[in-house]
Amino acid sequence: MEPEHDVIILGAGAAGLAASLYTTRAMMNTVLIESLGVGGQLLITDEIENYPGFPEGVKGQELAQMMEEQTTRFGTVIEYTEVEGVEDFDKPVKVVHTDSKTYTAKSVIIASGGSHNKLGVTGEDELAGRGVSYCAVCDGNFFRGQDVVVVGGGDAAMDESFYLSGIVNSVTVIHRRDELRATRVLQERAFNNPKYKWLWSHVVEEFVGNDVMEAARVKDLKSGEVYDYPAAAAFIYVGFHPNSDYLKDLLDMDALGHLYTDIHMRTKLPHIYACGDIRADSTRQLGAAVGDGITAALAAFHDLNG
Ligand SMILES: Cc1cc2nc3c(=O)[nH]c(=O)nc-3n(C[C@H](O)[C@H](O)[C@H](O)COP(=O)(O)OP(=O)(O)OC[C@H]3O[C@@H](n4cnc5c(N)ncnc54)[C@H](O)[C@@H]3O)c2cc1C
């Protein structure tokens, strides 16, 4: 059977978009499959200050739109559907099953990135969209002038809380440790901002509210005290997990599900590549995801064309 495409790219985040730009420009018949929105994590990133070429910084959504325009101009077809399973990845015709259609190709580039971890506490699912959020850029405006909390102490928590500080009355960072993990520059920006309050060595035990969120039930890990901390919203940034469930037992991966590749982004199976945040040892940076995508596309081209 002759496959429909030269390459299927799974995920239209920065890595998948960069890969598709190179495969279509190399005249490879490319389909890019995306389940949510083109841009992936870019869509939930406010300001990006460290992507080369933008001295004033760039908004994540704007960059995603530019990347989409650039790749579709060269012929990338983007299909909105969710990959649910794959088949025959060790055979010449690779098969990808989505919730609406089955695709076949000579090669596959896996670029399905990662998703936010949940806290797993009572009220988190019940109040999701009614106060509990994982995306300040998407939902921050609903809480203009109100008091909100941010859970976490890494780069994402600091980046998103800074965005919120321009909208809300106050932003309280709840962190289980007594120091942040975030990069120094992001820490200092937060410490110098009067909108910030800090609950060090605290964890969230529950989100409380009838119809909408009213408080975070927190525990002081040092004193053991549990109390309700009033807040209109909670923005949760407690890490990511790779979106690789649909590949289970097929490719080599680490304990968290990140895929192992060589430096050309080749996995252990022929004509199957992985790039971006889904990759083990990824630096989880935009520039790196773009570089991975380009490397994967070039490897796919060379492997098909000898
Ligand atoms: C809040 C935040 C701020 C950040 N700030 C910066 C920064 O300032 N500088 C920087 O360099 N980096 C930053 N990053 C990191 C950077 O955004 C990521 O490293 C990069 O975007 C990863 O791109 P990716 O394409 O590998 O993955 P993703 O962006 O995760 O894209 C994966 C895509 O695959 C799709 N997908 C997943 N599963 C499926 C499926 N089964 N079927 C179909 N599609 C699927 C997803 O919907 C998604 O669109 C930030 C990240 C976050 C979250």
The finding on whether 141 has its CB within 6 A of some atom of ligand 1 is no
- Average pLDDT on 82-108 reads 97
Output the pLDDT for position 265: 98
pLDDT band of 281, cuts 50, 70, 90 = confident
Active-site residue among 46, 139, 155, 277? 139
Shortest-distance atom of ligand 1 to CA 16: 25
At 288, which helix (H) or strand (E)? helix 286-304
Beta strands in 73-127 (DSSP E): 77-80, 83-87, 94-98, 102-110, 114-116
pLDDT digits (tens, 9 = 90+) for 178-218: 999 999 999 999 999 999 999 999 999 999 999 999 999 99
- Average pLDDT on 41-56 reads 88
Give all domains of the chain, ordered by start, each with its CATH number.
5-116+240-304 (3.50.50.60), 132-236 (3.50.50.60)
Shortest-distance atom of ligand 1 to CA 33: 43
Output the pLDDT for position 57: 92
pLDDT at 266 over 90: yes
Nearest-CA residue for ligand 1 atom 47 is 36
Task: Give, in order, the Cα–Cα distances in Å from 279 to each of 9, 10, 266, 267.
Answer: 15, 13, 11, 10
Structure tokens, 193: 């901002």
Report the residue among 34, 41, 236 best suited for mutation to probe ligand 1: largest number of ligand atoms under 8 A from its CB: 41
The finding on whether 14 has its CB within 6 A of some atom of ligand 1 is yes
pLDDT digits (tens, 9 = 90+) for 231-265: 999 999 998 899 999 998 899 999 999 999 999 99
pLDDT at 46 over 80: no
The finding on whether 82 has its CB within 6 A of some atom of ligand 1 is yes
pLDDT digits (tens, 9 = 90+) for 126-138: 998 899 998 887 7
